[in-house]
Amino acid sequence: MENLPGYVSIAFILTTFLTVGFLFYAVRQIVSDTTAAKILFALVPLWLIFQAALASSGFYLLVDVFPPRLPLFAVIPALVLIILLFIFARKDFISRIPLKTLTLLHVIRIPVEIVLLWLFQNGQVPQLMTFEGRNFDILSGLTAPIIYWLAFRNGKTNRPLLIAWNIFALLLLINIVTNAVLSIPAPFQQLAFEQPNRAVLYFPFVWLPSVVVPVVLFCHLASLNKLFSIDFKS
């Protein structure tokens, strides 16, 4: 990563902070007084530092060990936190997060895709992880402001539109995550052997699977949980 232009790392650090800032803003609007919110406010900064320290130490560069370090130490803990929030804080926390902010947060997927393109051009991720390849996730970011305007105009909430868009954008997320995982230089690698997904093994790009993607996933699940609830309120 020594030859990577500095602006790529800076852009991604800012994108990660923007993602976390969006999430914190959404939580602070209504549910900042809950136990789940207080835990989240304390845990996320510590998680950012922890992942930065692991990646900077070269911990994730040992890709031949079992179990694989990146999924075990970066991805699974974030997914476990999401599951725990849905089990223990769905009613008092998740269902109260404003749907408008959850929707608008997805604009951060635009700079993420731009950074992925730069990483591909510098040999750190495969082309299939960009919008020049198999990754169409940028559509989620580009359409988020449009959906926001269409779904919440005139003081009403277009529930069917939001459900359809969240499912569509969630499928795009699953698509890129699947391709990214199968492109990591590890025993389970199935794709992109000539130019694998090396970037996520380094700081700051380790924040993509450990922070940014989990936040985006959480926002989709929280939105759909809210949209499918019987006592739906925007």
Give 49-61 pLDDT, tens digit per residue: 999 999 999 999 9
Q: Do 234 and 100 contact (CB within 8 A), yes or no? A: yes
Domain-located, residue 139: yes
pLDDT value for 111:
98
Domain boundaries, position 126: 6-227
Residue 98 resides in a domain:
yes
In a domain, 182, yes or no: yes
Single out the residue of 61, 38, 100 nearest to residue 227, CA to CA: 100
Residue 234 maps to a domain: no
Percent pLDDT > 90 in the chain is 81
In a domain, 232, yes or no: no
pLDDT value of position 233: 61
- Domain presence at residue 233: no
pTM of the model as a whole: 0.95
**Does 111 reside within a domain?**
yes
Residues in the chain where the model's pLDDT stays below 70: 230-234
For residue 76, tell me if it sits in a domain.
yes
Q: How many domains does the chain have?
A: 1
User: How far is 162 from 39, CA to CA, in rounded Å?
Assistant: 29
